[in-house]
Amino acid sequence: MKKLSIITVNYNDKVGLEKTINSILEQTYKGFEYIIIDGNSNDGSKELIKKHKETVDYWVSEPDSGIYNAMNKGIRAATGEYVFFLNAGDVFYSKITLDEIQKSLNGNLDLYYGDVIFKGSNKERIVKYPDELSFYFFSHDGICHQSCFIKRTLFNDIFFYNEKLKIVSDWEFLIYGLVFKNISYQHIDCIVSYYDFEGISSRPESESTKLKEREIVMKKYFPLLIDDYNRLKDLTELASLRRIRNILYIKKFSFPWKLLKVFSDVLLLFLPKQK
């Protein structure tokens, strides 16, 4: 059995898929199997996959019902001890990333996760995740799957990704596993990948869908904590806004920064007061 299964999900993103395939095949560590799940693309993606068929261990191109349906197909096809998703457009941080990561994948823990760089069309930022995970952290954040190495058997022990959800199924899987199954985990202090921040879950128009789906998950598994969950979100937003306001107070910026300070003060009127 391979130590690791790398799974790439793609639909009509030939350019992104080629970047991802090249990034994976350039890794100095080779102890993994590579799986591509394509949603019956018609942009040349299938021809690209066939071009690399000698180095791809398993691939399929057929219609699916969404990204989590495709990801579940990849999990079921995988044979590695751990699974890792690097979808079309995402790339590893460097050629030696897996060499560094695989030293920690000793089979003792259920989840290993590193940090990522969110990369957009003209900007990027490093996202560092905490060493200790908590309900509070998941109330306003999450860990993207481009940083997670998950023991494959966990999906049989817990559940596969919820295909009824469009954006937050990986969030649901982790928060349920951590709270109800007490899964073991470790934060690896290194950057794993560049996460393509142009995907569906990162688009501004997807924010309302994400919030609605998270509320569905909370009501399903944590009905008694709904009020606390919503208050934690409000307090987090309030704290962030206060930090911005304090910076604007301290710094004597010229216009338009003074206008932003006024704007932040107005927004604070509509948020819960700190106790």
- pLDDT computed for residue 124 by the predictor: 87
- pLDDT computed for residue 136 by the predictor: 80
For the chain, percent of residues with pLDDT exceeding 70 = 80
Contact 193, 85 (CB under 8 A): no
- pLDDT computed for residue 269 by the predictor: 54
Q: Predicted confidence band at 86 (pLDDT cuts at 50, 70, 90)? A: very high
- pLDDT computed for residue 251 by the predictor: 45
* pLDDT above 90 for 227: no
* pLDDT above 80 for 188: yes
- pLDDT computed for residue 268 by the predictor: 52
Least confident of 32-36, 201-205, 266-270: 266-270
- The beta strands (E) that lie in the chain are given as 4-10, 32-38, 58-61, 82-85, 91-92, 111-119, 124-127, 148-151, 185-196
* pLDDT above 80 for 199: no
The two tokens of residue 50 are: 């066939």
Q: Return all residues near 198 (Cβ < 8 A) that are at least 6 apart.
A: 89, 120, 121
Q: Predicted confidence band at 272 (pLDDT cuts at 50, 70, 90)? A: low
* pLDDT above 80 for 255: no
Q: Predicted confidence band at 225 (pLDDT cuts at 50, 70, 90)? A: confident
